[in-house]
Amino acid sequence: MPRLFYNAAKINYKDGLMDKVYLILASGDVFEGTSIGAKGETVGEVVFTTAMTGYLETITDPSYYGQIVVQTFPLIGNVGVIPEDSESSGIRLKGYIVRDLCEYPSNFRCKGSLGDFLKEQGVIGIQGIDTRHLTKIVRERGVMNGIITSSPKLTAAQKKALEEYSIKGAVQETSCKKSYVVPAKGEKKFRVALVDYGSKSNIERELVARGCEITVFPCSSKAEDILKGGFDGIMLTNGPGDPAENVFEIEQVKKLMAGGLPVFGICLGHQLMALAQGAKTVKLKYGHRGGNQPAKEVGADRIYITSQNHGYAVDGDTLPADKGYVSFVNANDGTCEGINYTCCNAFSVQFHPEACAGPLDTQFLFDRFIEKMEEK
């Protein structure tokens, strides 16, 4: 039965300084809170992240395109906005939900408050709600659509928008529009083609720090054009949305994997590679989002704590045996977290070895990619 959950922070709305707003879920549950960021109304898919640090990296991660993100950690914004820590040029999420937003940040690198940044980016948010209870609802019932609005009662048009909302064309919206080159840090040792499906900036940073000059390609690039570029390896990045809807991109990935160069896929790149080799993907009930997800390396008897952000996963049982094998699994639910391919010179992981934010346990995978290029 739908329920109304009142403002958990008990904020006083005197003098109109605090605007009362509501989060209404597709389940009918209503949360009362106060407005943060831009004014207005927004509809999106409500998801939660358990990350305790790195809120700036979270909101600038293009993989959150089309989603309303809930931070389970209660105090957000205490170090303000630090531009050099951003993972992209802006915010792509549809809305932002926190328990308490810090109004007066303190950090020697701070360039402004999170509230002001949300407003500048046109992001609508809500604070003062019980984010733990909201998270419990999403965890138990699965991700669902939600709307942040000024009234606890929806109009017919709002109900229709809430029911019909879906994330479409996410990769095409977040990918770069034209190619560009990122120089290596120090001596140039390798040339890497990076296909941008909504890439996080730290993937580039990890590669250039290892002597890679990167040419970044839009998701619309054809495999033939990339393969004739004289590169030493190919990086397929993270990105948002349902991987199976990217039919053109999957076909190009299939050709890239058959091209003979070392290929490394992360997150969406991992999913596209699996789909290109005949596997299937499934939507998870509430996804894996946060900086504390355990990934077990198959056959190594070792678990790594990883940063993750995905709502879909590869069904490891559907991967043809002659194509490759599952290399990592999630220690919580057993889902596929990585694949080593035997049909070509390629490997991939579902989690984020580049972190930002999150643990650095699996940065060695970038070194593994370097080794493959050295052996080429």
**Identified catalytic residue from 270, 288, 310, 352:** 352
354 is an active site residue: yes
Measuring CA to CA, how many Å separate 136 from each of 105, 126, 277, 283? 29, 18, 36, 19
List, edge to edge, every strand of the sheet that includes 212-218. 180-182, 212-218, 190-196, 233-236, 263-266, 346-349, 336-341, 324-330, 280-297, 302-315
DSSP conformational letter for 230: -
Let me know if 82 is exposed, middle or buried by CB neighbors in 10 A (0-12, 13-18, 19+): middle
How many CB atoms neighbour CB 133 within 10 A? 13
| C-alpha count within 13 angstroms, C-beta hemisphere, residue 243 | 31
**Identified catalytic residue from 57, 87, 354, 356:** 354
Residues 129, 33: contact at Cβ < 8 Å? yes
Sort strands 212-218 and 233-236 into parallel, antiparallel or unpaired: unpaired
**Identified catalytic residue from 212, 267, 336, 344:** 267
249 is an active site residue: no
DSSP conformational letter for 352: B
103 is an active site residue: no
Residues 283, 312: contact at Cβ < 8 Å? yes
List residues with catalytic annotation. Answer: 267, 352, 354
